A and B are shown apart, each in its own frame.
Chain A
Amino acid sequence: MTHTASPAGHSPASRARRRERAAQWLFLTPALLYMAAFFGYPIIKNIVMSFQDYSISSLYTGAAPFAGLLNYRAIFSSGLFGQLAWNTAVFTVVSLAGQFTIGLVLAVFFARNFPLNGVIRALLLLPWLIPLVASATVWRWMLGQDGVINTMLESLHLAPSTGVQWLASTSVALFAVILVNIWIGIPFNMVILYSGLREIPAEVNEAAALDGVGAITRFRYITWPMLRPVVTVVVVLGFIYTIKVIDIILVITGGGPANASQTLAVESYQLSFRTFLFGQGAAMGNILILISIILALVYLRFNRAALRTEGEL
Chain B
Amino acid sequence: MMKTETTARTRRTVLALAGTAALLAAASACSSSASSPAGSSKGGSSGTITLTAMDYFTSEPAHSAVGDILNSCAASVGVRITHESVANPQLMPKVLQELSSHTLPDLLMLDNPNLQQIAQTGALTPLDTAGVDLSGYYPSILAAGSYQGKAYGLAPGVNSIALIYNKSMLAAAGIAPPATWAELTTDAKKLTTAQHEGFALSADNDGEGAWQYLPFFWSSGADFANLDSAAAVQSLQLLTGMVSDGSMSKSVVNWAQSDVNDQFIAGKVAMMVNGPWQFPLLNAATSLHYGVAPIPVPAAGDTLKVPLGGEVWTVPVTSTATEQAAGKVLACMNSSANQLSYAKQVGYIPSLESAATQLAASDPSMGPFVAEVATALSRTAEVGTKYPAIATAIETAEQSALTGASSPQSALATAQTTATQGS
Residues of A whose CB lies within 8 Å of any CB of B are: 53, 56-57, 59-61, 70, 74, 77-80, 140, 144-146, 165, 167-170, 253-260, 270, 273-277, 280
Measured in the bound complex, the distance between the Cα atoms of B218 and A209 in whole Å is 75
Whether B254 lies near A168 (C-beta < 8 A) is yes
Q: How far is the CB of A283 from chain B (nearest CB, A)?
A: 12
Whether A257 lies near B254 (C-beta < 8 A) is yes
User: A170-B405, A257-B402 are known contacts. Are A276 and B117 too (CB-CB below 8 A)?
Assistant: yes
Q: How far is the CB of B380 from chain A (nearest CB, A)?
A: 13
Cβ of B140 within 8 Å of any chain A Cβ, yes or no, is no
Whether A61 lies near B204 (C-beta < 8 A) is no
Q: Sorted from nearest, which 5 A-B pairs have the closest CB atoms? A: A257-B399, A258-B400, A60-B121, A258-B399, A257-B253
Task: Enumerate chain B residues within 8 angstroms of A74, measured Cβ to Cβ.
Answer: 421-423
Q: How far is the CB of B261 from chain A (nearest CB, A)?
A: 15
Task: Enumerate chain A residues within 8 angstroms of B249, measured Cβ to Cβ.
Answer: 145, 168
Measured in the bound complex, the distance between the Cα atoms of B358 and A220 in whole Å is 80
Task: Enumerate chain B residues within 8 angstroms of A167, measured Cβ to Cβ.
Answer: 251, 253-254
The 11 sampled A-B contact pairs (Cβ below 8 Å) are A61-B121, A79-B414, A144-B254, A168-B254, A258-B205, A275-B388, A276-B96, A277-B389, A277-B422, A277-B423, A280-B423
Q: How far is the CB of B145 from chain A (nearest CB, A)?
A: 17
Cβ of B47 within 8 Å of any chain A Cβ, yes or no, is no
User: A78-B418, A145-B249, A274-B392 are known contacts. Are A59 and B121 too (CB-CB below 8 A)?
Assistant: yes
Measured in the bound complex, the distance between the Cα atoms of B253 and A169 in whole Å is 9
For B92, B117, B423, which residue has the most chain A Cβ atoms within 10 angstroms?
A: B423
User: A74-B423, A168-B254 are known contacts. Are A276 and B388 too (CB-CB below 8 A)?
Assistant: yes
Whether A256 lies near B253 (C-beta < 8 A) is yes
Q: Please, which residue of chain B has its CB at the minimum distance from the CB of A169?
A: B403
Whether B206 lies near A254 (C-beta < 8 A) is yes
Measured in the bound complex, the distance between the Cα atoms of B394 and A258 in whole Å is 10
Task: Enumerate chain B residues within 8 angstroms of A60, measured Cβ to Cβ.
Answer: 99-100, 102, 121-123
Q: How far is the CB of A71 from chain B (nearest CB, A)?
A: 8
Q: Please, which residue of chain B has its CB at the minimum distance from the CB of A273?
A: B93
| Contact residues on B (Cβ < 8 Å of other chain), bracket | 35 or more
Measured in the bound complex, the distance between the Cα atoms of B22 and A109 in whole Å is 41
Q: Please, which residue of chain A has its CB at the minimum distance from the CB of B96?
A: A59
- A-contact bits for B326-346, CB 8 A (1 contact / 0 none): 000000000000000000000
Whether A79 lies near B250 (C-beta < 8 A) is no
Residues from 381 to 405 in B contacting A, C-beta threshold 8 Å: 385, 388-389, 392, 395-397, 399-400, 402-403, 405
Q: How far is the CB of B213 from chain A (nearest CB, A)?
A: 14
Whether A255 lies near B422 (C-beta < 8 A) is no
Measured in the bound complex, the distance between the Cα atoms of B254 and A243 in whole Å is 23
Select which of B99, B414, B417 is within 8 A of A56 by beta carbon: B99
Task: Enumerate chain B residues within 8 angstroms of A78, measured Cβ to Cβ.
Answer: 418, 421
Cβ of B49 within 8 Å of any chain A Cβ, yes or no, is no
Task: Enumerate chain B residues within 8 angstroms of A57, measured Cβ to Cβ.
Answer: 120-122
Q: Please, which residue of chain B has its CB at the minimum distance from the CB of A60?
A: B121
User: A56-B96, A60-B123 are known contacts. Are A254 and B205 too (CB-CB below 8 A)?
Assistant: yes
Measured in the bound complex, the distance between the Cα atoms of B251 and A257 in whole Å is 10
Whether A165 lies near B250 (C-beta < 8 A) is yes
Whether A56 lies near B422 (C-beta < 8 A) is no
Measured in the bound complex, the distance between the Cα atoms of B396 and A275 in whole Å is 14
Measured in the bound complex, the distance between the Cα atoms of B417 and A280 in whole Å is 18
Cβ of B118 within 8 Å of any chain A Cβ, yes or no, is yes
Residues of B whose CB lies within 8 Å of any CB of A are: 92-93, 96, 99-100, 102, 117-118, 120-123, 204-206, 249-254, 268, 385, 388-389, 392, 395-397, 399-400, 402-403, 405, 411, 414, 417-418, 421-423
Select which of B205, B388, B397 is within 8 A of A255 by beta carbon: B205
Q: How far is the CB of B194 from chain A (nearest CB, A)?
A: 11
Whether B206 lies near A56 (C-beta < 8 A) is no
Q: How far is the CB of B344 from chain A (nearest CB, A)?
A: 31
Q: How far is the CB of A279 from chain B (nearest CB, A)?
A: 8
Measured in the bound complex, the distance between the Cα atoms of B209 and A257 in whole Å is 11
Task: Enumerate chain A residues within 8 angstroms of B385, measured Cβ to Cβ.
Answer: 276
Task: Enumerate chain A residues within 8 angstroms of B421, measured Cβ to Cβ.
Answer: 74, 77-78
For B117, B253, B400, which residue has the most chain A Cβ atoms within 10 angstroms?
A: B253
Q: How far is the CB of A91 from chain B (nearest CB, A)?
A: 17
Select which of A53, A79, A144 is within 8 A of B418 by beta carbon: A79
Q: How far is the CB of B408 from chain A (nearest CB, A)?
A: 12
Whether B405 lies near A258 (C-beta < 8 A) is yes
Task: Enumerate chain B residues within 8 angstroms of A165, measured Cβ to Cβ.
Answer: 250-251, 403
Whether B251 lies near A170 (C-beta < 8 A) is no
Whether A56 lies near B121 (C-beta < 8 A) is yes
Whether B117 lies near A59 (C-beta < 8 A) is no
Measured in the bound complex, the distance between the Cα atoms of B423 and A53 in whole Å is 9
Whether B403 lies near A259 (C-beta < 8 A) is no
Whether A256 lies near B204 (C-beta < 8 A) is yes
Q: How far is the CB of A83 from chain B (nearest CB, A)?
A: 11
Task: Enumerate chain B residues within 8 angstroms of A257, measured Cβ to Cβ.
Answer: 205, 253-254, 399-400, 402-403, 405
Whether A59 lies near B99 (C-beta < 8 A) is yes
Task: Enumerate chain A residues within 8 angstroms of B122, measured Cβ to Cβ.
Answer: 57, 60-61
Task: Enumerate chain B residues within 8 angstroms of A140, measured Cβ to Cβ.
Answer: 254
Beyond the given pairs A53-B423, A57-B122, 12 more chain A to chain B contacts, judged by CB atoms under 8 angstroms and listed by A's residue number, are: A60-B100, A60-B123, A74-B421, A140-B254, A168-B403, A253-B254, A256-B396, A257-B403, A258-B400, A258-B403, A274-B388, A276-B96
Task: Enumerate chain B residues within 8 angstroms of A254, measured Cβ to Cβ.
Answer: 204-206
User: A60-B102, A78-B418, A257-B205 are known contacts. Are A169 and B250 too (CB-CB below 8 A)?
Assistant: yes
Measured in the bound complex, the distance between the Cα atoms of B276 and A257 in whole Å is 27
Task: Enumerate chain A residues within 8 angstroms of B414, measured Cβ to Cβ.
Answer: 79
Measured in the bound complex, the distance between the Cα atoms of B423 and A119 in whole Å is 55
Whether B205 lies near A256 (C-beta < 8 A) is yes
Measured in the bound complex, the distance between the Cα atoms of B253 and A74 in whole Å is 27
Measured in the bound complex, the distance between the Cα atoms of B199 and A89 in whole Å is 37
Measured in the bound complex, the distance between the Cα atoms of B399 and A59 in whole Å is 32
Select which of A61, A145, A275 is within 8 A of B392 by beta carbon: A275
Measured in the bound complex, the distance between the Cα atoms of B399 and A169 in whole Å is 9
Q: Please, which residue of chain B has its CB at the minimum distance from the CB of A253?
A: B254
Task: Enumerate chain A residues within 8 angstroms of B411, measured Cβ to Cβ.
Answer: 258
Measured in the bound complex, the distance between the Cα atoms of B98 and A59 in whole Å is 9
Q: How far is the CB of B3 from chain A (nearest CB, A)?
A: 21
Task: Enumerate chain A residues within 8 angstroms of B250, measured Cβ to Cβ.
Answer: 145, 165, 168-169
Measured in the bound complex, the distance between the Cα atoms of B374 and A40 in whole Å is 53
For A259, A260, A275, which residue has the most chain B Cβ atoms within 10 angstroms?
A: A275
Measured in the bound complex, the distance between the Cα atoms of B399 and A256 in whole Å is 8
Measured in the bound complex, the distance between the Cα atoms of B304 and A4 in whole Å is 87
User: A56-B121, A79-B418 are known contacts. Are A256 and B96 too (CB-CB below 8 A)?
Assistant: no
